[in-house]
Every structure is written in C-alpha cells, then in structure tokens.
C-alpha cells in the first residue's frame, strides 16, 4: 500500500522524466480547468435563477464591459514570460519588474474603466457595479502572475490548487449572498471581496514558498509588450464577441434581454471548453514541429482539425435539438426567449471550433499580429452590425451580428493561412471525416428528437446522443480509415 502511494506521489507530484512530467502537468491543468469551469457554470445557473433576467442583465452588462477592459491589463505577459522563464532560471530575476509592470497596467485599466464607464451607461447603479467588478477582475490578474513561475518550473499542481481554491472561495461567498441578500450590487461585492482575500493569500504563500516579492521598475520591461500584445486575446476568442454583444445590449438599454442572451451564452461558452483544452494541448507540439518537421506539422494539424470537425457538428446538431430542454432544466420556464438564442449561439461555437486550427497555425508560425488583426477586424464588424441589427431584431440582432462576424473571420483566416502556405488546409481525408461526422450527427439528431426520448431528463438524452454518435463514428472509422486512430504512433 505504501509503495502504491509512493508511486502515485511520484506520478502526480514529482518531476521525474520528460514524459511523466508532461502527463503530470496535463492531468493537473485539465483537473483545475474542468473543476473551475464546472463549478463556475453551476454557480452561474444559481445566480441567474435567483436574480432573474433583469438583475442578472445588469450584472452581466457590467461584467462583460470590465472583461473587455481587463484585456489591457495582461496583454499576453503571462504567456510570453512563461516561455522566457522556461528557457532559463536566470530570467526569474525579472519577475519583480514584470510584477511591477502588471500593477501599473492594472492601475491604468482601473482609471480608464472609471472614465469610460460614464460613456457606456448613464445608469449610476450599473456604473457602480462596473467599478466593483473591475477590482474583482484585476485582483485575479495580479495573483495569476504567479502562474508564470509555476508553469516555468512545471509545477502545475500548484496552479490547479490555486484555481480550485479560488473557485471554491468565490462559490461559498457568492452562494451566501444570493441566498440571503440577492442583488446585482451585492453579488459584485461578493466577487470582489472573495478575490481580494484569495489574492492576499496566494501572494503571501508565493512570497514564502517561491520568490520574495518586491517592486522593481526597469524601462526595458516595456519592450516585452512589443512581443506579448498580439497574444493578449489568446487562442479562443468567441467570448470577446459575446462580451461585446452583451455590452451593446446594455448600451441600447435592453437589460432584460441581456439576461436572456447571457443565460444562453453561458451554455454556448461551456460547449467551447473542449476546444480550448484541445488547442492548448496541441500548441506545444505544433510549435515544435513548425521548426523541426513540416511533415509532422501537417499531420498534427490535420489530426487537430479532425478533432474539431468531430466535435463541432454534433455540438451544433445536439444543441439545436436540446436547446429547449437545456434552458428549462438550468434556468426554468421564465427564460423561454433564451432557447432560440442558444440555438443561434451554438452555430457560433461550431464556427469557432473550425476556426481554431487555422488561428493557432498563424500563431505558431509567428504571424500572431495578423491573427490579432483579424480578431480585431471581426470585433469592429460585430460592433457595426450590432448598431444596424439591434434596432431591427432586438437581442437576436446581436447573435446574427456575431454569426456573420465569425464567418468573416473564419473565411479570412483560412484565406491567409493558404496564402502564406503554412499548411494544406483541406484534403480528401478531412472531407471524409466531415461527411462521416455530418451523417452521424444527423442520425443522432433524429434519435434524440424522438418523442419518447426527448421527453426524458436532458442529462439522459445527452448521454443517449453521445452514445449514438460515438458508436456510429467507431463503425465508420474502422471501415474507412482505422489508421487515423493511431496517427500519433507514426510521428517520429
């Protein structure tokens, strides 16, 4: 028994070899991310149910605005310095100047939020919520700076523990508030104070165990922003368009509609989580093969695209079929208008799945500035279309705008990757994969739409859909190209 315990400790807590360390880090990152996402989604469901569409609409309007503002407090610093610290322990000496730079950026964003919020809304209550929530978001950014150290030293178990601890503290405080003194303002205070407490605890622990913190300013710290800013939007950007749309609804005074829209968008964003995790898992391999082997780069990219296709089509089909049951199950009958919103947003999720492989190949090939430009162009187009469509179609107009913007960005990203000859973007095998997935998705849709099945609990219906789709895929893959299941064994 003691030997088993020691083996598990070595596997999940110690860095012994390259493969074991990768497995260990992947396990902790997935555990941390999934735990946080699941707990956050459950918490969001309770919040929406307790606050209702109006109060939640105010909260999500403010939160969407500060989420966009918070982008400027990070600007890709964590990703870039994780790479630099991984290359040499000597670079860890720069941490204090980096941390100081982050504090300065947070102060600038805090000031800008106070100023810009007055132009976004004239409602003093909503502006107050924005001011509270920006402190919540920025405090999270500050203690997330410790992840640079932890990732560089490949101690992802600490990062996972911090994320889970953060999520649990938030959940305890927020649940107490929404069950006792529910309101958008009180909810904002709950998030802010819980984050400040977590920030103090994490920074204190980091100061004791890893690195003694101090403030240090170096002018050359600004140079890193020239490299990092194109990565500030990350790999998965659907949440940016969704956040912009939420801000636009609030700007037009559609607060209740914002609550309906955001309730649907929470579920759509959960559907994107698998793509986020897969992309981050493939990113190191793609980066390596871009330098070492163009042949393996193409193979790995095709495998990534296969996974995205195999996920995108059933999510669209299943989302359309189950949207009504999902909304009623999580939010109750008062969120009926969210059903169509969810069906439309599921298309956004599907488009995003297909876009990610093209986007990530631009980043690994050092064309991150062009990728950033496409994202910003899509955001600008989204804003323009919102001004045109919201007065005509109401809150459905923001979803139409988002779908059009995502399609334009996808087409532009594909065109750019083909023009730069980074990869062969499509072939017969990917076409076969798409046809297999499409057929399997349609069969799955037909099965879960049957009356005696659709009337069951949505969790059971979801399980039946996954089973039908999975069995059909297994049959088709064994018949048409079974070697695809073993593709990585061919990589040297």
Q: Name the residue with tokens 């999940």.
A: 12
CB 142 within 8 A of CB 200: no
Report residue 317's pLDDT band, with 50, 70 and 90 as the boundaries. Answer: very high
Q: Residues 384, 447: one domain?
A: yes
For residue 187, the SS3 value is helix
CB 130 within 8 A of CB 138: no
For residue 55, the SS3 value is helix
> Is residue 174, in this structure, part of any structural domain at all?
yes
Closest of 123, 405, 113, 387 to residue 255, by C-alpha: 123
Residue 488 pLDDT: 40
Mean pLDDT of 200-218: 79
**Cα first-last separation, the chain:** 38
SS3 for 148-164, per residue? HHHHHCCCHHHHHHHHH
Question: Does residue 9 register a pLDDT over 70?
Answer: no
Q: What is the pTM of this model?
A: 0.72
Q: Residues 215, 255: one domain?
A: no
112 vs 481, residue with greater confidence: 112
Mean pLDDT of 196-209: 86
> In angstroms, rounded to a whole number, what is the distance separating the alpha carbons of residues 322 and 346?
11
> Is residue 427, in this structure, part of any structural domain at all?
yes
With a CB cutoff of 8 Å and minimum separation 6, the contacts of 74 are: 102, 105, 141, 232
Q: Which of 199, 232, 265 is the last residue of a domain?
A: 232
> In angstroms, rounded to a whole number, what is the distance separating the alpha carbons of residues 394 and 398?
8
High-pLDDT (> 70) share of the chain, %:
81
CB 289 within 8 A of CB 282: no
Structure tokens given for 179: 């069950």
> Is residue 2, in this structure, part of any structural domain at all?
no
> Is residue 207, in this structure, part of any structural domain at all?
yes
Q: Residues 385, 434: one domain?
A: yes
pLDDT tens, residue by residue, 239-285:
677 778 888 888 888 888 888 888 888 888 778 877 777 776 677 66
Q: Residues 182, 258: one domain?
A: no
| Number of domains forming the structure of the chain | 2
Q: Residues 212, 319: one domain?
A: no
Q: Which of 200, 232, 264 is the last residue of a domain?
A: 232
Q: What angle do CA 282, 287, 292 make, to 5 degrees?
A: 120
CB 275 within 8 A of CB 402: no
pLDDT tens, residue by residue, 100-113:
888 888 899 899 99
> In angstroms, rounded to a whole number, what is the distance separating the alpha carbons of residues 280 and 230?
17
> Is residue 469, in this structure, part of any structural domain at all?
yes
Whole domain around residue 421: which residue ranges?
Answer: 241-492
Report residue 441's pLDDT band, with 50, 70 and 90 as the boundaries. Answer: very high
Q: Residues 268, 375: one domain?
A: yes
Q: What angle do CA 64, 67, 71 make, to 5 degrees?
A: 145
> In angstroms, rounded to a whole number, what is the distance separating the alpha carbons of residues 34 and 274?
9
Q: Residues 332, 249: one domain?
A: yes
Question: Does residue 343 register a pLDDT over 80?
Answer: yes
For residue 217, the SS3 value is coil
Closest of 400, 378, 381 to residue 389, by C-alpha: 400
Q: Which of 197, 232, 267 is the last residue of a domain?
A: 232
Residue 450 CA: distances (Å) to CA of 51, 319, 447, 467, 481 = 34, 15, 6, 15, 31
CB 286 within 8 A of CB 297: yes
Q: Residues 193, 251: one domain?
A: no
Q: Residues 150, 221: one domain?
A: yes
Q: Name the residue with tokens 């998705």.
A: 441
Mean pLDDT score of the chain, rounded to an integer?
Answer: 79
With a CB cutoff of 8 Å and minimum separation 6, the contacts of 141 are: 70, 73, 74, 102, 106
């Amino acid at each position: 028994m003691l030997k088993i315990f020691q083996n598990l400790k070595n596997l999940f807590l110690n860095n012994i070899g390259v493969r074991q360390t990768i497995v260990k880090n992947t396990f902790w990152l997935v555990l941390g991310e999934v735990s946080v996402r699941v707990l956050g989604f459950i918490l969001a469901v309770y919040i929406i149910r307790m606050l209702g569409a109006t109060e939640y609409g105010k909260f999500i309007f403010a939160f969407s605005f500060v989420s966009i503002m918070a982008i400027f407090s990070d600007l890709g610093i964590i990703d870039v310095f994780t790479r630099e610290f991984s290359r040499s322990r000597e670079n860890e000496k720069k941490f204090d100047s980096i941390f100081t730079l982050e504090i300065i950026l947070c102060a600038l964003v805090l000031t800008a939020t106070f100023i810009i919020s007055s132009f976004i809304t004239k409602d003093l209550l909503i502006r107050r919520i924005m001011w509270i929530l920006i402190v919540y978001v920025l405090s999270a950014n500050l203690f997330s700076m410790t992840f640079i150290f932890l990732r560089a030293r490949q101690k992802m178990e600490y990062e996972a523990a911090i994320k889970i601890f953060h999520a649990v503290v938030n959940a305890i405080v927020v649940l107490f508030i929404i069950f006792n003194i529910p309101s958008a303002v009180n909810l904002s205070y709950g998030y802010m104070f819980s984050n400040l407490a977590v920030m103090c605890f994490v920074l204190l622990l980091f100061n004791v165990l890893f690195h003694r913190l101090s403030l240090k300013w170096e002018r050359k710290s600004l140079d890193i922003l020239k490299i990092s800013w194109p990565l500030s939007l990350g790999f998965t950007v659907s949440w940016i368009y969704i956040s912009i749309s939420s801000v636009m609804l609030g700007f037009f005074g559609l607060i209740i509609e914002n609550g309906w829209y955001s309730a649907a968008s929470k579920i759509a964003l959960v559907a994107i989580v698998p793509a986020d995790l897969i992309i981050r898992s493939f990113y190191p391999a793609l980066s390596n093969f871009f330098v070492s082997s163009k042949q393996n780069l193409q193979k790995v990219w095709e495998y990534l695209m296969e996974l995205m296709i195999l996920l995108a089509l059933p999510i669209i089909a299943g989302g359309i079929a189950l949207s009504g049951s999902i909304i009623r199950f999580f939010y109750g009958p008062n969120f009926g208008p969210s059903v169509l919103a969810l069906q439309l947003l599921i298309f956004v999720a599907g488009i995003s799945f297909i876009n990610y492989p093209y986007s990530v190949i631009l980043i690994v090939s050092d064309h991150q500035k062009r990728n950033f430009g496409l994202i910003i162009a899509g955001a600008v187009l989204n804003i323009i279309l919102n001004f045109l469509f919201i007065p005509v179609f109401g809150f459905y107009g923001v979803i139409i705008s988002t779908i059009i913007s995502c399609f334009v960005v996808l087409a532009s990203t594909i065109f750019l990757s083909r023009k730069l000859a980074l990869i062969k973007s499509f072939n017969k095998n990917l076409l076969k994969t798409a046809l297999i997935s499409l057929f399997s998705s349609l069969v799955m849709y037909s099965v879960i739409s049957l009356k005696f099945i659709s009337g069951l609990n949505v969790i059971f219906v979801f399980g039946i859909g996954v089973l039908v789709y999975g069995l059909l895929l297994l049959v088709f893959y064994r018949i048409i190209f079974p070697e695809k299941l073993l593709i990585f064994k061919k990589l040297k």
